[in-house]
Amino acid sequence: MKLIYTRPESLKKAAFHYCPGCGHSVAHRLVCEVIDEMELRGRTIGIPPPGCSVFAYNYFDVDMAESAHGRGAAVATGIKRACPGIIVFTYQGDGDLAGIGTAETIHAANRGENITTIFINNAVYGMTGGQMAPTTLSGMKTTTTPYGRDPATEGRPMRMSEMLAPLEGVAYIERVAISSPANIRKAKKAIARAFRMQIDNRGFSMVEILSPCPTNWKMTPVQSWKWVEEEMTRVFPPGVYKDVTEPENAG
Amino acid sequence: MRWSAPRLPSRSTVSKVLMDGNSAIAEAAIRAGLRCYFGYPITPQNELTEYMAMHLGRKKGCTFLQAESEVAAINMVYGASLVGARAMTSSSSPGISLKQEGISYLAACELPAVIVNMQRGGPGLGSIAAAQSDYFQATRGGGHGDYRTIVLGPSSVQELADMTMRAFDLADKYKIPVMILGDGVLGQMKEPVEFKREAPEITPTREGTLQGAGGGASRIVKTFTSNPSELEEINWSLFRRYQLIKKNETTWDTYMTDDARLVVVAYGIAARIARGAIKSLRAKGLKVGLFRPVTLWPFPDEPLRELVKNVRQLLVFEMNMGQMIEDVQLALAGKGEVSFYGRPGGVIPAPDEVGRVMSRLYYQKGLK
Amino acid sequence: MLVKMLIAGFGGQGVLSMGLNIAEAAMLEGRNVTYLPSYGAEVRGGTANCTVAISDEEIASPVASSPEFVVAMNQPSAIKFQHHIQSGGLFFLNSSLVETEILRGDIEIVHVPANKMAEELGSPKVANMVMLGAFTRKSGVVEFDSVIQALRHTLGSKKKLIDVNEKALVKGYELY
Ligand SMILES: Cc1ncc(C[n+]2csc(CCOP(=O)(O)OP(=O)(O)O)c2C)c(N)n1
Ligand code: SF4
């Protein structure tokens, strides 16, 4: 019998604490598969954030170090500068990366820090109970926008991939969606490409993953995956925003 | 006014070199084996950052980086320390407030690091003049959570250099952030300084640091837990380390206390000013002396208790409205008599002024 | 004995390097010395000053509220610092730029046409060195030799620069 599906070596034998249908579990698995396939496990350090993925270190079987809220890119900078041979990735939510950690993110990208960021955009602050994130869609209801996000007072959703791509230090940015098997395969390719950029010393790489949060969106897993596909991608179109190795996407 | 890099002692014929405190710290740190420095401009410590840019940035295997903020800088230190590099950052009061988050994480994860605070007047943006306004913040941990950092209080450029080297060793020995609590005058003034060491005394090992799992088991550096008793155990283990530091590393200095009837308690630049005043008063026959805490945390409470067995009257002198005095009072628990003289805001009192306060107290309390 | 001096002027007049030179000279003589420049916002607006303290014993404070010696290289400094000098102190005025009448009778005033003399030497930039020469002679706080040695030490291999600066120093020194 041919083995076609198994637990990646870099993924610990532990049951995820994530809600059913949550995009975090899928994203974790994809990152682990890539680490295995590129044989990076022995020289990788991952930086999980405060957020629903704070326990990511219980799942990733690579060296992991917790970071303060939003500071992942700065911590990764310190690691990479001290030990350039180590492969560093941050794993960050949208509150973490696009809210409290905007400055750290933009400046690490602009310096062309040779690190990889896995950016989980679920349009809310998941861990703290579904408050508005910088990425919350206009009109979307959250616990802190009970009447829907009003662009007049709360601004419009922030598009981090579009914002970061023009920076010269950025080597690679792609937005993908966890919404269907085909899109998940695309997501994995993007993650592999991002790590490849780091291995080749190209500069900052980021994969933005549109990721379902059924719990805070108050949807069933199936509805939430559909919502990513139909609603989120309208505001956050998937695609390659920067790829310095492809002339037409070089920015 | 352009700042120019001071010449290094190697090019000089005298063993001493005239150097400002900020540069002296930087030079000492480099000699102590510093590998990564992350900073953000703020007066009065910019010379430190600039010296690092000039001399560390080009050194093989070393990193100088001007971060986008103090928050970023301290978190970069955290990252570098995670992988076993001697790392440091420096700032002045408002910037140190921003670093507190990172310092708390360093303390929690038992990571060595050196942080310099060249204090200025506060609160708020305050002034850029020298002050001792951050004693509370420095000695109580400073950020959130139940932790301590070692705090050193130098009072000359030479001590800045010596204590910087000591700071790195302490940080590595106890896996703890160490703060050097200076002030604007110490940072800015030049004095002859001698660098006593060419290389670090303790070479940090990579043991216990993250290097990638290699072929072995992966490791985790973290503090967050959903299990209070797990965190309690971490708190206990930190506490035991703090007790050990208290036992081994508490440092103080005394000057003419043997027959003294009035002893000034002061640290840093204030201690130095008080020393000048004491010398003049001694010449006039007043029996006065100085007790100077050198480690501000751990605070030398035991030696201070010893002291008041013979000296009843103390005068705490600080360049703030009274912060260290609380440690003095805690240490003495009601024994002895404690008076206070303070000048906040960045005012630097002259030795004569402190001398006048001392002699007034001396006569008022009938100590002659 | 502890002596303190304050040197003030426009930024660019070399007042800080004068102070540094004296401090280095004192260090070369094996004495205790502190040098404290004005910094930060204080130096915006174009003025600069520094304080040097020299002593054979430890120096308690690098700050001088009433220095024995004040050097004013420009008009604003002459006005600002004339009341800071200790009674019996020396007040060095760059008479090329200072027009103010000094009203105190309890201090000695030393006029040094520093800019004029520097121009005569063909290098207006060394006015500070002319003043330093005169200061060394009149104040006696450090040896002239040490000042020269400190200068060579500072300028290192810049032979030409050393020459013009030394010439200016000597010229100032010979004024009194
Ligand atoms: C300084 C600070 N402020 C607030 C928090 C509380 N906090 C923890 S996670 C989080 C937001 C998480 O949202 P996001 O980054 O979108 O990740 P998600 O949970 O959705 O995966 C917040 C505000 C914190 N840990 N630190
Ligand atoms: S709250 Fe949302 S993001 Fe968090 S685990 Fe549940 S589904 Fe995932």
Q: What is the CATH number of the domain that holds C69?
A: 3.40.920.10
Greater confidence (C33 vs C41) lies with: C33
Domain count, chain C: 1
The verdict on B321 touching C (C-beta cutoff 8 Å) is no
Residue A157 and residue A207: Cα distance in Å, rounded? 18
The verdict on B14 touching C (C-beta cutoff 8 Å) is yes
For chain B, 368 residues long, give each residue's pLDDT as a single digit of tens.
232 333 333 334 458 999 999 999 999 999 999 999 999 999 899 999 999 999 998 899 999 999 999 999 999 999 999 999 999 999 999 999 999 999 999 999 999 999 999 999 999 888 889 999 999 999 999 999 999 999 999 999 999 999 999 999 999 999 999 999 999 999 999 999 999 877 777 777 777 899 999 989 999 999 888 899 999 999 999 999 999 999 999 999 999 999 999 999 999 999 999 999 999 999 999 999 999 999 999 999 999 999 999 999 999 999 999 999 999 999 999 999 999 999 999 999 999 999 999 999 999 999 98
| Beta-sheet pairing, B87-91 with B113-119 | parallel
Q: Which residues contact B36 (CB under 8 A, 6 or more apart)?
A: A78, A81, A82, B62, B63, B65, B76, B77, B80, B85, B86, B87, B88
pLDDT in tens, C125-158: 999 999 999 999 999 999 999 999 999 998 988 8
pLDDT for the residue B7: 36
Residue A124 and residue A143: Cα distance in Å, rounded? 9
The verdict on C161 touching B (C-beta cutoff 8 Å) is no
pLDDT for the residue B120: 95
pLDDT for the residue A101: 96
Exposure letters A175-185 (e unless 16+ CB within 10 A, then b): bbbbbeeebbe
Q: Which two tokens stand for residue C119?
A: 């121009």
What's A24-242's CATH class?
alpha beta
pLDDT in tens, A165-209: 999 999 999 999 999 999 999 999 999 999 999 999 999 999 999
pLDDT for the residue C120: 96
pLDDT in tens, B257-269: 999 999 999 999 9
Taking alpha carbons only, the member of B97, B116, B122, B94 closest to residue B39 is B116
pLDDT band at C103 (very low <50, low <70, confident <90, very high): confident
pLDDT for the residue B158: 97
pLDDT for the residue B3: 29
CB-CB under 8 Å, C39 with B188: yes
- C28 to each of B87, B357, C16, how far by Cα in Å? 35, 36, 18
A38, A47, A59, A67: best to mutate for the B interface, most B CBs within 10 A: A67
How many whole angstroms from A216 Cα to the centroid of ligand 2?
7
User: Which residue's C-alpha comes closest to atom 2 of ligand 2?
Assistant: A213
pLDDT band at A1 (very low <50, low <70, confident <90, very high): confident
CB-CB under 8 Å, C20 with B18: yes
User: Do C and B touch (≥3 CB pairs < 8 Å)?
Assistant: yes
Q: Which stretches does DSSP call E strand in chain A?
A: 44-47, 63-65, 87-93, 116-121, 124-125, 131-132, 170-177, 204-210, 239-243
How many whole angstroms from A24 Cα to the centroid of ligand 2?
7
Q: Which of A94, A210, A215 to mutate to test the pocket of ligand 2 (most atoms within 8 A of CB)?
A: A215
The count of residues in chain B is 368
CB-CB under 8 Å, C32 with B128: no
pLDDT for the residue C43: 53
CA atoms in the 13 A half-sphere facing the CB of B5 = 13
User: Do A and C touch (≥3 CB pairs < 8 Å)?
Assistant: no
Q: Name the closest residue on chain B to residue A53, using Cα atoms.
A: B224
pLDDT in tens, B190-247: 999 999 877 777 777 777 899 999 989 999 999 888 899 999 999 999 999 999 999 9
CB-CB under 8 Å, C60 with B272: yes
The verdict on C35 touching B (C-beta cutoff 8 Å) is yes
CB-CB under 8 Å, B80 with A65: no
Mark out chain B residues that contact chain A at CB-CB < 8 A: 35-36, 38, 63, 65, 67-69, 71-73, 75-85, 87, 101-102, 105, 109, 210-215, 218-224
Give the SS3 label for residue C66. Answer: coil
- C68 to each of A142, B204, C111, how far by Cα in Å? 71, 50, 16
Maximum separation of any 2 CA atoms in chain C, in Å:
45
The verdict on A17 touching B (C-beta cutoff 8 Å) is no
For residue A5, give the amino acid letter.
Y
The number of beta carbons lying within 10 Å of the beta carbon of residue A151 is: 11
The count of residues in chain A is 251
User: Which residue's C-alpha comes closest to atom 12 of ligand 1?
Assistant: A51
CB-CB under 8 Å, B212 with A43: yes
Most confident of the ranges A122-131, B122-131, B314-323, C8-17: B314-323
Taking alpha carbons only, the member of A85, A90, A94 closest to residue A108 is A90
Q: With contact defined as beta carbons under 8 Å apart, do A38 and A194 qualify? A: no
pLDDT for the residue A251: 61
pLDDT for the residue B1: 27
Domain range enclosing C30: 2-174
pLDDT for the residue C40: 64
pLDDT for the residue C100: 85
Percentage of chain C with pLDDT > 70?
A: 96
The verdict on B115 touching C (C-beta cutoff 8 Å) is no
Q: Which of A69, A97, A119 to mutate to test the pocket of ligand 1 (most atoms within 8 A of CB)?
A: A69
The pTM assigned to this predicted structure is 0.89
Give the SS3 label for residue A202. Answer: coil
Give the SS3 label for residue A83. Answer: coil
Q: With contact defined as beta carbons under 8 Å apart, do A213 and A23 qualify? A: yes
Q: Which residues of A touch B60 (CB under 8 A)?
A: none
H or E stretch at B273: helix B268-283
User: Which residue's C-alpha comes closest to atom 13 of ligand 1?
Assistant: A125
Q: For chain B, which domains are there?
A: 17-193 (3.40.50.970), 252-364 (3.40.50.920)
Report the complex ipTM: 0.90
pLDDT for the residue B196: 83
CB-CB under 8 Å, B36 with A81: yes
